[in-house]
Structure 1
Amino acid sequence: MLSQLVKSHLVKASGKRAFATTVNENFLPKKYGGKYIVTLIPGDGIGKEITDSVKTIFAAENVPIDWETVELSGVSGSASQIDEAVLSLKRNKVGLKGITYTPSSPFAKSLNVALRKELDIFASLVLIKNIPGVPSKLQDIDFVLVRENTEGEYSGLEHQSVPGVVESLKIMTKYKTERIARFAFDFAIKNDRKLVTAIHKANIMKLGDGLFRSTVKEVGLAEYPGVEVKDMIVDNASMQAVSYPQQFDVMVTPNLYGSILSNIGAALIGGPGLVPGANFGREHAVFEPGCRHVGLDIKDKNVANPTGMILSATMMLRHLGLDPYADKIAKATYDVLAEGKAVTPDIGGKATTTEFTAAILSKLQS
């Protein structure tokens, strides 16, 4: 199980905690000519622009990575693309990914969900913390969302029993809840976190969310006595997140609640373009922005904020044991944000994506 293989360590960035995960070398991609081969999935919307920013920075710093690019699109793609992406990640073990668009059509499947299910990438990790220089109404925010990625409301099991009546199945299992709970508690211990809060709606969904709530608490009390465990109803947690987010340390959630809270968290610290994230399975790791916005409305306008993607890419470098590159790129990114001279419109600036990337390159060369 991943939670038994993971070694996490702290990396200091701008005086705040940052996070990385490295795994047993058996689960890392092989090196060819001294370089790792990493799957790159630009995705839809602004995906190509922000992954191009990462590619430009990595090339300038001679980061020992070669990209295997796979096109995966919910807008114009074909069913064969998901198979190609799965095969590439099975070969390479590690990927960097933009977000793919999911149409609202009843016959359209989410490629994001399909990829996670095919590879059993069960744990989503989203880092929510203030960034110096970025305007925010609340300060001292520093919490982590651990989201179960493969079941719950995203099980995708729906049918219309009679016209006008739809049944949608929410699947919750003890096995997968124990697995995500152990991931959350392991992360807490290895990153000096003191509290894990299980988010649920067990007052209404007494069996499904009740199972999630009780299982997380059982795992915590039985196996991780050094970490405090609490639980909170999701609607209250949403209110608490916008009124007193400093109370949270690690939040562990079923699928849908994690998606909602990651968006709330992104709003707290300045917007979706700032949030890094990662997804872990038994053998595979896929790094992508933690707030999963496609950005179709700003595609090709050169105004997207690539911060979340760049910081996700530095998490990937630490996962691969390439800490010096990760530290240098993360510091340059934080320095540009702190100065505020070349930042994108979403956080009050006037710089383009290209200009923001150039400012990071300038910091790296200075």
Structure 2
Amino acid sequence: MAAKSPITVAHGDGIGPEIMDAVLKILDAAGAQLAIETIEIGEKVYKKGVPSGIEDKSWESLRRTKCFFKAPITTPQGGGFKSLNVTVRKSLALFANVRPCVSYHPYVRTTQPSMNMVIVRENEEDLYAGIEHQQTDNVVQCLKLISHTGSERIIRYAFEYARANGRKKVTCISKDNIMKLTDGLFHKIFDKVAKEYAPAIETNHLIVDIGAAKIAAAPHIFDVVVTENLYGDIISDIAAEVAGSVGLCGSSNIGLNGAMFEAIHGSAPDIAGKGIANPSGLLNAAVMMLQHLHQEKVAENIHNAWLRTIEDGIHTGDIFNPQVSARRANTKEFADAVIERLNHAPRFFKPVVFGEGGTIKMPEVSLPAPATKKLEGVDIFLHWRGQGAVEVLAGQLKSLSNSLKLSSIDSRGLLVWPDAASKTEAGDHWRCRFTAANDTAPVTQEQIIHLLQSISKAGLDCVKTENLYSFDGVRGFTVAQGQ
């Protein structure tokens, strides 16, 4: 008998314990070789005063097993409690969120019967870095961080996933028509990596607006989608809903040294304890976990038995349809039905076969080669509610610096000085850009420090600075709208 794979299991909150018990029963019946360590996370831990929702001893288990099988949890509202999912993903460096979204027509209601796509979402960066500041009475900011290494890693993983699973197309979704540096970097790296997999894997790119619309209206045109954190969070829920039921979808969170598997739905406290929850999402997550643990045959057996159960019309209440369902099953009855169908292939759906394309090669990435970096100026953000037009502020700033030139002032990205089409004054947050006094003059850190000292002595409130650099002669900053 093969050695058992160590995993850490959390039964969660709400419906979590019910569906976890059902899924573990199926795994045991199918012969999954698992050495289970159980931990407590979620609401009870939060209420002990642990803001992360997970205790130190549980971290020890996760780092030991490197595989986390997790039921949904409840995060208490208010009180500064942190998202456990985000904490685990970042702490274990789980860079890839993988979410298959498949239609099970005609047994599960959907408007898109041919849908069969996988969304691969970057898990650690983007706006979800959680770096936010209030800068003025009127303005708060959230930093969007996109790295070369983070982008390349998730993009390579998406192509490797496609290759290993016999997928023929990878679509990149971004918003680089607006965010030209951050999303532009993601798109640029996608185009570079795509060449390594051509012509075996087809590629294309969509702006997130039309991409989300097409996922809702024509998901059959997609195979594998790779995207950034925020976009992936949004479009994966759209895709799950279009497929027919959020309750059917599982997801995996993959890192170089660990993984987490879970259903995509929440803890549903309104039906907790009633024994009617659908365990399918968590079961499909378990199938992904077994593939990760190289127990592909067990995974195939379970998934095919689940497909046969769906075909036979044994459905929980969330997907029950009198026109196609034979029996409304509770959580335990549904699990028993899957167990009864182990070693039975589906008749309508195509039986799954895992691992035909080989294993996923985990991406190895490195920092980009150092560029020639040149200081070109500085953006100084001011909290200013002075009297008069913005020309008053411009005049004051010009008088404070002899070595650097005030080039522009904008309000939330819209140029307001000089010669701006917009003369809006309704704001208290101003980005003031200083550059070299002339085309040949250098810009130094000492000049910037001197300028900041002058601004402070003048009683102006500097809330942030951002140095402006070029890299190998290419400008590493954007200009204001209207400039």
TM-score normalised by structure 1 residue count: 0.84
2: CA distance between counterparts of 1:191 and 1:172?
Answer: 28
Higher alpha-carbon deviation: 58-67 or 122-131? 58-67
In the alignment, which residue of structure 1 is the partner of 2:307? 334
Counterpart pick for 1:86 among 59, 62, 65: 59
In the alignment, which residue of structure 2 is the partner of 1:236? 210
In the alignment, which residue of structure 2 is the partner of 1:125? 98
Contact 1:39–1:96 (Cα < 8 Å) also in 2 = yes
Q: CA deviation at 1:154?
A: 1.0
Q: CA deviation at 1:193?
A: 1.8
1: CA distance between counterparts of 2:72 and 2:259?
Answer: 15
1: CA distance between counterparts of 2:127 and 2:227?
Answer: 12
Q: 1:359 to 1:47 in 2, by over 3 A?
A: same
- SS of the equivalent of 2:167 reads coil
- Describe how 1:155-166 pairs up with structure 2 within 5 A: 155-166=129-140
Which amino acid letter does the alignment assign opposite residue 364 of structure 1? L
- Describe how 1:60-99 pairs up with structure 2 within 5 A: 60-74=29-43, 76-77=45-46, 78=50, 79=52, 81-99=54-72
In the alignment, which residue of structure 2 is the partner of 1:46? 15
Does structure 1 residue 167 correspond to structure 2 residue 141? yes
Counterpart pick for 1:320 among 287, 293, 297: 293
Q: CA deviation at 1:106?
A: 7.4
- SS of the equivalent of 1:256 reads helix
2: CA distance between counterparts of 1:358 and 1:80?
Answer: 32
In the alignment, which residue of structure 1 is the partner of 2:459? none
Does structure 1 residue 55 correspond to structure 2 residue 33? no
Contact 1:74–1:111 (Cα < 8 Å) also in 2 = no
Which amino acid letter does the alignment assign opposite residue 339 of structure 2? L
Which amino acid letter does the alignment assign opposite residue 117 of structure 1? K
Aligned residues: 333
Runs of 4+ displaced beyond 6 Å: none
- SS of the equivalent of 1:347 reads coil
Higher alpha-carbon deviation: 34-43 or 112-121? 34-43
Q: CA deviation at 1:230?
A: 1.4
Q: 1:134 to 1:103 in 2, by over 3 A?
A: same
- Describe how 1:184-199 pairs up with structure 2 within 5 A: 184-199=158-173
Does structure 1 residue 348 correspond to structure 2 residue 317? no
2: CA distance between counterparts of 1:75 and 1:198?
Answer: 40
Contact 2:170–2:204 (Cα < 8 Å) also in 1 = yes
In the alignment, which residue of structure 2 is the partner of 1:214? 188
Provide the aligned C-alpha RMSD in A.
2.2
Which amino acid letter does the alignment assign opposite residue 105 of structure 1? G
TM-score normalised by structure 2 residue count: 0.65
Higher alpha-carbon deviation: 147-156 or 190-199? 190-199
Q: CA deviation at 1:185?
A: 0.9
In the alignment, which residue of structure 2 is the partner of 1:148? 122
Counterpart pick for 1:359 among 299, 315, 337: 337
Q: Larger radius of gyration, structure 1 or 2?
A: 2
Contact 1:86–1:118 (Cα < 8 Å) also in 2 = no
Q: CA deviation at 1:222?
A: 4.6
Which amino acid letter does the alignment assign opposite residue 169 of structure 1? L
2: CA distance between counterparts of 1:254 and 1:311?
Answer: 24
Contact 2:18–2:273 (Cα < 8 Å) also in 1 = yes
In the alignment, which residue of structure 1 is the partner of 2:73? 100
Contact 1:154–1:256 (Cα < 8 Å) also in 2 = yes
Does structure 1 residue 296 correspond to structure 2 residue 269? yes
- Sequence identity of aligned pairs in percent? 38
2: CA distance between counterparts of 1:166 and 1:294?
Answer: 32
Q: 1:300 to 1:164 in 2, by over 3 A?
A: farther
Q: 1:74 to 1:117 in 2, by over 3 A?
A: farther
Counterpart pick for 2:259 among 281, 285, 300: 285
Q: 1:104 to 1:207 in 2, by over 3 A?
A: farther
In the alignment, which residue of structure 1 is the partner of 2:435? none
2: CA distance between counterparts of 1:191 and 1:323?
Answer: 12
- SS of the equivalent of 2:143 reads strand
Residue segments in structure 2 that go unaligned for 5+ positions in a row: 322-327, 345-483
Residue segments in structure 1 that go unaligned for 5+ positions in a row: 1-30
Q: CA deviation at 1:233?
A: 1.3
